[in-house]
């Protein structure tokens, strides 16, 4: 931090405009907190979120996430076409996105996935059991053209134990020949591709607004560092919230809207669509959670099955 502060002072930066994901968000947080120790850091900072994971607090949309979705959906459509041609086949596709389920959930909604596993919800054995039973029932009742292939999407961080290959193996083993299951990992294909028109337009519009925001403070950081450090919006994040483009103060986001452990916002706006994805995919409700050992022991004791 001392080196960064000395270089900013040496080259007399008037402001700092960052474009990036959660790492850039964390960087601005560290720079803001170091202002009291290094007066040269009393210049305005602003961040334009750009990450396919869409996990930066202060915005519902990060640059790159729309392009990623386009690439992932195109990939899934091709996989689904292959699954439909062979019939009775389920593909389990692993998506990126870190500990944010945004990409997996919206891709699942777009391609009509039978199930989507995301970090916010996790994966349990009960969940897998219910989904396997559901798929067996689907393939048993499907006829004609409805016997097309099925897709299951899983975020790369949805579970420490269950990954795409393991889930595909479990489904294949439990299907008992009723259907086939394969895993597929698009990997960094999701991070490539030609930027979508939405990403291009928003990049230009938001970048212009960021520069205008920085220019409002002027080159006064070196002359009046107290004025910069006391204004919470001199360290900010631009974001889209609903229909509005807003700037949020870094301090407020740090304290109220950031899940630092999982590197995502505390309120995941995309979770509101989870039930819609499940309904459209025909996914069943999960069975009641397994009771604790203490609870089961208490029931058995009442029935006279256990003695002291």
* pLDDT average, residue stretch 178-182: 85
Residues 6 or more apart whose CB falls under 8 angstroms from that of 45 comprise 15, 16, 17, 18, 28, 31, 32, 234, 235, 236, 250
CA dihedral (100, 156, 67, 28) positive or negative:
positive
On the question of a common fold for 2-63+195-256 and 66-193+269-280, the answer reads yes
The model's pTM is: 0.83
Say how far apart CA 117 and CA 95 lie, in whole Å.
10
> Is the distance from CB of 100 to CB of 25 less than 8 angstroms?
no
Domain boundaries, the chain: 2-63+195-256, 66-193+269-280
34-77 pLDDT, tens per residue? 998 998 899 999 999 999 999 999 999 999 999 999 999 999 99
Looking up tokens 């990954």, which residue turns up?
163
**Which CATH code for domain 66-193+269-280?**
3.40.50.460
> Is the distance from CB of 281 to CB of 113 less than 8 angstroms?
yes
**Which CATH code for domain 2-63+195-256?**
3.40.50.450
DSSP H or E run through 295: helix 293-302
> Pick the residue with more confidence: 160 or 219?
160
């Amino acid at each position: 931090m001392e080196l960064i502060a000395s270089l900013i002072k040496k080259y007399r930066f008037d402001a700092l405009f960052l474009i990036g994901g959660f790492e850039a968000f964390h960087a601005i947080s560290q720079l803001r907190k170091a202002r009291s120790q290094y007066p040269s850091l009393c210049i305005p900072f602003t961040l334009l979120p750009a990450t396919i994971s869409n996990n930066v607090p202060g915005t519902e949309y990060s640059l790159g996430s729309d392009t990623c979705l386009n690439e992932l959906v195109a990939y899934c459509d091709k996989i689904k076409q292959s699954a439909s041609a062979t019939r009775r086949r389920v593909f389990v596709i692993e998506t990126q996105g870190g500990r944010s389920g945004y990409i997996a959930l919206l891709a699942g909604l777009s391609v009509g996935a039978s199930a989507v596993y995301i970090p916010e919800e996790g994966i349990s054995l009960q969940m897998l059991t219910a989904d396997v039973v559901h798929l067996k029932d689907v393939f048993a009742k499907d006829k004609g053209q409805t016997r097309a292939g099925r897709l299951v999407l899983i975020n790369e961080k949805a579970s420490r134990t269950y990954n795409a290959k393991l889930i595909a193996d479990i489904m294949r083993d439990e299907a008992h020949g009723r259907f086939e299951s394969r895993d597929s990992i698009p990997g960094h294909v999701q991070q490539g591709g030609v930027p979508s028109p939405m990403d291009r337009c928003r990049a230009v519009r938001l970048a212009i607004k960021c520069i205008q925001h920085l220019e409002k403070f002027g080159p006064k950081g070196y002359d009046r560092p107290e004025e910069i450090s006391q204004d919470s919006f001199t360290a900010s994040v631009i974001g889209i919230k609903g229909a509005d483009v807003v700037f949020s103060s870094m301090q407020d986001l740090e304290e109220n809207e950031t899940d630092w452990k999982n590197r995502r916002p505390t309120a995941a706006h995309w979770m509101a669509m989870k039930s819609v994805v499940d309904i459209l995919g025909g996914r069943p409700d999960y069975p009641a959670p397994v009771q604790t050992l203490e609870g089961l022991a208490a029931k058995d004791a009442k029935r006279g099955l256990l003695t002291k």
